[in-house]
Amino acid sequence: MSLYETPTEANPTRQDGPPVITHEFVVAANRLPVRADAEGQWHLSPGGLVSALSAVMADHDAVWIGWDGSMDGETEGAPPSRQGDMALRPIALTNKEFTDYYEGFANGTLWPLYHNGLLSTRFKRSWWSAYVSVNRRFAEEIIAAASPNGTVWIHDYHLQLVPAIVRKQRPDLRIGLFLHTPFPPSQLLMRLPWREEILEGLLAADLIGFQTPTDARNFLALAHRSDRAPETLFEDNTATIELDGRRMKVGSFPISIDVDRINQIANTPETTAAAANFRASLGDPAHLLLGVDRLDYTKGINARLKAFLELLREGTLEPESVAFVQVATPSRDDVRGYENTRAEIEQLVGEINGDYARLGRPVVHYLHQNLPFEELIPLYMAADVMVVTPFEDGMNLVAKEYVASRTDGTGVLVLSEFAGTAVELHDALLCNPFDIAGLKRLLLQAISMHPDEQSRRMDIMRRQVSNNTVYDWAKRFLDQLDTEPDRQSTTDGSARA
Ligand code: G6P
């Protein structure tokens, strides 16, 4: 059996279970967009992507297919079958699939490889097998859940084989895939023993979206080098590939945030008061620096803390006049690389506070916790300098959230050149996080920036962010998917509109 065929007997519920209700719009992502709270109640997960897609899905008869977070069926309770306007279809993982597909191939192989090989990558054949079988399962659900001529939007590196498996059985479907991570240079990706399979999986989509033009160009170069596609011109942020008598598109669609929602939260008296209280609770430092990240080795949290520590050591920064708040959301605890990163960050936090804190007055405030979105906005509003220093990042929405939260037009963003966001936010102070000396200079420049200069830069960045919200992003992707000229035959024999 070929990689892209799905054995129906592999999923007996498809044959024996109740008839499956089909939907005109199908979203597939590794995770469902809902989370259970401590009381076992399910809520929509926080984040711009989920709100944007829920808004898009509200206009359609839509279903979201994703992993419900359980392993071997051990959940506090099954997720609901609907959330608001969308239907939910959970995918269950076994313990072994969690280890080999999620922790293994997705986050032990693809994540480091796609982030420019920041961590040496492991290529384990058992991880690949699990990736294939979980991708098949997602594809089977899509095949069963999509109505004739429906639209399927697949998300991220976890599901790159799905377009080809789905197309094989449902050529009537319009298939889009958006990659949220970077796509590395071909020389690096060619190391992947299964690069041909991944390429074939992706090229079966009608539209592949990347975060930046560089990611899209890297993909086109790989497709060409691997003889999977002719040399293709990438112009006006899209390219069309003619392939096996079919046309598909590759484009750059920088993802964004829900600007209106941030405005709504930021413009309440409660949030303004929370921001002031928060600052006061830190002893009203003259300079407040902030970092908010998932705890990940790609995020460069260690680089910014090193630069900060050196500035204190040299006496360039006075510990009495400065505070650094670092929120590091727990993530992928058992995946290789994460434990060491956490240890290094916590060692630096300990060193800074050990040497420079006074009793009751730390210099670095470190939270290894998940903060609700509503609590992050007052932090953004209180911080004079937002420090975003990833070594490699698909986009980095925290940088955009900071800009959107600065409703008074002040504040300085220090932003890594290696974040996709840097392509849009040129008026940030752009840094190279591998260059600690340079990062120190930029931190000092940020701290001492004149308010007029802050407003000048922030104004431009705020306009930039407002002109491309997550809703614009979703619309641009779906419009492009819909305009793709080639139409395939339908399962019910009717022509596509
Ligand atoms: C990145 C990926 C997302 C993923 C998120 C959280 O942003 O691009 O697909 O959902 O990290 O990671 P997790 O492994 O917890 O789902």
In a domain, 7, yes or no: no
In a domain, 497, yes or no: no
Query: Domains in the chain: how many in total?
Result: 2
In a domain, 108, yes or no: yes
What residues contact residue 148 under an 8 Å CB cut-off, 6+ apart?
172, 490, 491, 492, 494
What's the mean per-residue pLDDT of the chain?
Answer: 93
Distance CA 220, CA 335 (A): 30
Distance CA 20, CA 8 (A): 14
Residues 410 and 440 in one domain: yes
In a domain, 182, yes or no: yes
pLDDT at 442 over 70: yes
- Confidence grade of residue 426 (pLDDT, cut at 50, 70, 90): very high
Residues 114 and 206 in one domain: yes
In a domain, 104, yes or no: yes
In a domain, 9, yes or no: no
Q: Where are the alpha helices (DSSP H) in 425-450?
A: 436-447
Q: From the CB of residue 272, how many other CB atoms can be counted at a distance below 10 Å?
A: 16
Which ligand 1 atom is at minimum distance from the Cα of 106?
14
Residue 13, pLDDT score: 42
CA 111 / ligand 1 centre spacing (Å): 10
Residue with CA closest to ligand 1 atom 15: 331
Residues 297 and 154 in one domain: no
| DSSP SS3 for 476 | helix
CA 410 / ligand 1 centre spacing (Å): 30
Residue with CA closest to ligand 1 atom 16: 31
The Cβ-side half-sphere exposure at 354, using a 13 Å CA radius, reads 6
In a domain, 372, yes or no: yes
**pLDDT tens, position by position, 346-397:** 999 999 999 999 999 999 999 999 999 999 999 999 999 999 999 999 999 9
**CATH number of the domain where residue 212 is located:** 3.40.50.2000
CA 90 / ligand 1 centre spacing (Å): 17
393 CA to centre of own chain: 9
CA 181 / ligand 1 centre spacing (Å): 9
Residues 274 and 179 in one domain: no
Choose the weakest-confidence range: 54-58, 106-110, 258-262. Answer: 54-58
Please compute the mean of the pLDDT values over residues 205-217 and round it to a whole number. Answer: 98
pLDDT at 485 over 60: no
CA 180 / ligand 1 centre spacing (Å): 9
In a domain, 322, yes or no: yes
Q: DSSP letter for 358, please.
A: B
CA 315 / ligand 1 centre spacing (Å): 39
Q: Cite the beta strand spans of 305-399 per DSSP E.
A: 322-329, 364-367, 385-388
Q: Please check whether residue 169 is in contact with residue 144, taking contact to mean a CB–CB distance below 8 angstroms.
A: no
Which ligand 1 atom is at minimum distance from the Cα of 102?
14
In the structure, which protein residues have their CB atom closer than 6 angstroms to any atom of ligand 1?
Answer: 30-31, 156, 180-181, 331-332
Residue 292, pLDDT score: 97
Helices (H) and strands (E) in the chain, counts: 18, 17
Residue 143's closest CA among 231, 23, 254? 23
Tokens of 269: 């008296």
Ligand 1 pocket mutation pick from 27, 331, 334, 392 by most atoms within 8 angstroms of CB: 331
Distance CA 387, CA 179 (A): 25
* Domain region containing 374: 259-467
Tokens of 191: 């190391």
Residue with CA closest to ligand 1 atom 7: 180
**pLDDT tens, position by position, 7-46:** 554 443 454 556 679 999 999 999 999 998 888 889 999 7
Residues 150 and 285 in one domain: no
Residue with CA closest to ligand 1 atom 12: 331
What residues contact residue 225 under an 8 Å CB cut-off, 6+ apart?
186, 190
